[in-house]
Amino acid sequence: MGSLWRYCVFVSAALLLAVLPACHSRRADRITIGVVTNCVADFWRICEAGATKAAQDFDVDLQFREPEKAFDASVQMPIIEAWVKQGIHGIAVSVIDPKAQTEDLARIAKKVPLITMDNDAEGSGRLCYIGIDNYEAGKAVGRLVKKALPQGGTIAIFIGSTKSANGKARTQGVLDELAGEKDAVGEEMAHPHRPDLRVRRFGQFYLVDGEAKEDNNPNNAQPLASSVLARLKGLPHLCAVGLYAYNPPAILDAAKSRSMHKELVIIGFDEDWETLKAIAQGEILATVVQDPFQYGYQSVAALAAYARGDSSKLVKEPIPYRVVTKDGGPDETITTPQGTLTIKNLPVQDFEARLRADIASVKK
């Protein structure tokens, strides 16, 4: 009995030793993809849902990080550096400050496959950029402003940051469309109905303070909007534009607190749930939307495939932006330097239903 027992123990140990290296090998070969955003927002939770679905579909592990301190590259970069040390197989990043980060990202791109999404950094050595053409999307916002106020008026633009590539491009797109010319700088002047208010004129529109108002943090968005709107109360033909996801709801809250929501046209950007609700209720006119679900999905899909030696999933063209209004409308065809572009104008109810279906498709 003792000899048989010792034999069984020996065989069991031998089998265990044979299995352990195989288990270890599988863990070492497991592909891990990291996605890091520029702040914490509902927009990024939609992106995370898309990234999670792609991780499930393509059998990879996902690390998804939203820096608590918004729009701060000094917080974002250590996350990326830590991933590099861990031996991660691919990184997707929404670049906060291309000017400050490009050199470091270029160094990282030599070690780890890198994709930029939402916010680009062209000189970073990234494999591709996954996002909309933000300049053209900004022009779409400008067309909405002109349609809402065909006689012109006073406009305030709110945004998280203009350091980012998308912040600069969206803002310039709006202004170029209003001015009817490329790289418009506007004419500095006093507002014709409020001499103490400095503005820049772009076509028939007067931009408050001559620049987009940056909040640099979602928590600052509502107070900033409120302070600006207080200076505009009583002026005719008012429009406020919010170019980051959290800006339109913050503008609406500020307008209601000032009893200005019925005299103010609000045009937004992105698919924040509160923005969609306000469009359905007629409180926000429209929003130009990206596709954060696809940003997450395509980033993970592309990096997973690349880690396996397949570069075919690298994105070569911008993801189409869309316009969401209460009732939708016919598609719009525009001409860009890159060619003809068809823009879909979607009813908010249909758009929100599709968005919720995308999120629901993620396995729990």
pLDDT digits (tens, 9 = 90+) for 25-43: 334 579 999 999 999 999 9
Task: Supply the mean pLDDT for the chain.
Answer: 92
20: CB partners within 8 A, 6+ apart: none
In the predicted structure, residue 20 carries a pLDDT above the cut 50: no
pLDDT for the residue numbered 29: 76
What confidence tens digit (pLDDT) does each residue in 307-345 have? 999 999 999 999 999 999 999 999 999 888 878 889 999
In the predicted structure, residue 144 carries a pLDDT above the cut 60: yes
How far is the C-alpha of 221 from the C-alpha of 251, rounded, in Å? Answer: 8
Mean pLDDT calculated for residue range 178-192: 98
In the predicted structure, residue 249 carries a pLDDT above the cut 70: yes
Q: What is the 3-state secondary structure (H, E, C) of the chain?
A: CHHHHHHHHHHHHHHHHHHHHHHHHHHHHCCEEEEECCCCCHHHHHHHHHHHHHHHHCCCEEEEECCCCCCCHHHHHHHHHHHHHHCCCEEEECCCCHHHHHHHHHHHHCCCCEEEECCCCHHHCCCCEECCCHHHHHHHHHHHHHHHCCCCEEEEEEECCCCCHHHHHHHHHHHHHHHCCCCCCCEEEEECCEEEEEEEEECCEEEECCCCEECCCHHHHHHHHHHHHHHHCCCCCEEEEECCCCHHHHHHHHHHHCCCCCCEEEEEECCCHHHHHHHHCCCCCEEEECCHHHHHHHHHHHHHHHHCCCCCCCCCCCCCCEEEECCCCCCEEEEECCEEEEECEEEHHHHHHHHHHHHHCCCC
**CATH 3.40.640.10 holds for 31-132+291-360:** no
What confidence tens digit (pLDDT) does each residue in 165-180 have? 999 999 999 999 999 9
In the predicted structure, residue 14 carries a pLDDT above the cut 60: no
Stated pTM of the model: 0.90
In the predicted structure, residue 285 carries a pLDDT above the cut 80: yes
pLDDT for the residue numbered 28: 54
Q: Of 350, 332, 349, nearest to 341 (Cα)?
A: 332
Q: Are 196 and 231 in contact (CB under 8 A)?
A: no
Q: Of 37, 54, 72, nearest to 306 (Cα)?
A: 54
Domain 134-289 fold = Rossmann fold (3.40.50)
Contacts 24+ apart (CB under 8 A), 70-76: 70/38, 70/39, 70/40, 70/160, 70/216, 70/217, 70/218, 71/38, 71/39, 71/96, 71/97, 71/160, 71/161, 71/163, 71/164, 71/216, 71/217, 72/96, 73/97, 73/100, 73/101, 76/36, 76/38, 76/101
How far is the C-alpha of 25 from the C-alpha of 29, rounded, in Å? Answer: 6
Mean pLDDT calculated for residue range 357-363: 95
In the predicted structure, residue 290 carries a pLDDT above the cut 90: yes
Q: Of 241, 228, 296, 293, nearest to 269 (Cα)?
A: 241
In the predicted structure, residue 12 carries a pLDDT above the cut 70: no
Mean pLDDT calculated for residue range 181-209: 98
Q: Are 138 and 178 in contact (CB under 8 A)?
A: no
Lowest mean pLDDT among 13-22, 238-247, 248-257: 13-22
- What are the angstrom distances between the C-alpha of 163 and each of 35, 99, 358? 21, 8, 31
pLDDT for the residue numbered 337: 81
**How do beta strands 194-202 and 205-208 pair?**
antiparallel
In the predicted structure, residue 5 carries a pLDDT above the cut 50: no
Phi and psi at residue 44, to the nearest 5° = -80, -20
Q: Are 5 and 35 in contact (CB under 8 A)?
A: no
Mean pLDDT calculated for residue range 197-211: 98
Residue ranges matching CATH 3.40.50.2300 in the chain: 31-132+291-360, 134-289
Q: Measured on CA atoms in the order 177, 179, 185, 188, is the torsion positive or negative?
A: negative
What confidence tens digit (pLDDT) does each residue in 70-128 have? 999 999 999 999 999 999 999 999 999 999 999 999 999 999 999 999 999 999 999 99
Angle subtended by helix axes 165-179 and 134-148, to nearest 10: 40
In the predicted structure, residue 60 carries a pLDDT above the cut 80: yes
